Amino acid sequence: MLGQIYSAKRLYQEGIHYFNKSAEYSKNSIPFEALLYSKPARSNTPYNQLSYLITQYSISYHYSTTLWLHTMKSVQDQQQNYQNSFVGFAPIYNNTATVTPPRIAVGMRSGNTNNYATLIHSEKEVSVVEQLFKHHTLQSQLFLHQEATKKSFKQAISSSKYVLFAGHGFYDKEQPEWSGIVFSPNKDSDKSDVLSVQESYTLRTTVDLLVLSCCESGVGKHIEGEGNLSIVRGFLYAGAKNIVCSLFKVYDKSSSELSQYFFNELTQHSNYATALQMAKKQLIASNTSTPKLWSGLILIGK
């Protein structure tokens, strides 16, 4: 209990100012892995020397027993016949009419329908992961810039084992069902295309691991006993077995680094939770900044 109180207090005090404390979901946005299992020896202990739970345990989450059983039944019923081992999506957002000049200093993977910053680290993220799979002679494919469309994504999640989306995501407090992830425009439009929470429930997928490396993909209207009604829940009902998502707004550079570490670990660990734990430990060791740089992305599943 002491560690939980201390870590939660520190997270808030040290600058996660973008948590809206009045929002319905804010109480569910502190990840367990950022809590401490022991009190620091001194008050000015560097962040990369704190005793986070993630340094001792691999951690995964799920919304409810009912949804977990639904996922397990889907796994048993599905035929595993993937066309691709890996497919990566990075819209990058520097070629669409809705994009403002790049806000490199901000570097957040979040925006609204009129203002998407260019994500300068997302292309490297998906490209490095693709090369990793090619190195292991596994079939992989990339969709960058204008090719990273919602249509291509829907096709990919129906025929691929691992799918990585590195882009913008957002949570709409006024209309949570229209929250979503943002793709490049269709050919007949100059506006970016959003895959919403509402639409996610209509999809069909057999993807074993979906990584949503974007802001607020795990955020949604909170229902007691069921958790957040985020786009992640829609993907789970659609058939996705495991999903990496974000609990709050995340940074472009650190999300890119964590994703690369994570997929590299997957070549050594069959367990997704262990791979994510190892990736976060690498990011902690390489950076002395606050936990918000590595703790936002969590695993829903096994």
Do residues 213 and 47 touch, judged by C-beta distance below 8 A? Answer: no
Per the listing, tokens 């292991």 go with: 136
In the chain, helix, strand, coil percent, each to 5?
Answer: 35, 20, 45
| Cα–Cα dist 57/55, whole Å | 6
| Burial class (CB within 10 angstroms; exposed 0-12, middle 13-18, buried 19+) of 144 | middle
pLDDT tens sequence across 143-162: 999 999 999 999 999 999 99
pTM of the predicted protein model: 0.86
pLDDT tens sequence across 196-248: 999 999 999 999 999 999 999 999 988 877 778 899 999 999 999 999 999 99
Packing angle, helices 252-266 and 122-135, rounded to 10:
10
Element containing residue 88 per DSSP (H, E):
strand 84-90
Do residues 210 and 232 touch, judged by C-beta distance below 8 A? Answer: no
Q: What is the residue-level pLDDT of the chain in tens, covering all 302 positions? A: 444 444 555 544 443 433 344 343 355 678 989 888 888 888 888 888 889 999 999 999 988 777 777 677 665 555 567 989 999 999 999 854 443 444 443 588 986 656 688 999 999 999 999 999 999 999 999 999 999 999 999 999 999 999 999 999 999 999 999 999 999 987 666 567 999 999 999 999 999 999 999 999 999 988 877 778 899 999 999 999 999 999 999 999 999 999 999 999 998 877 999 999 999 999 999 876 788 899 999 999 98
| Cα–Cα dist 164/89, whole Å | 6
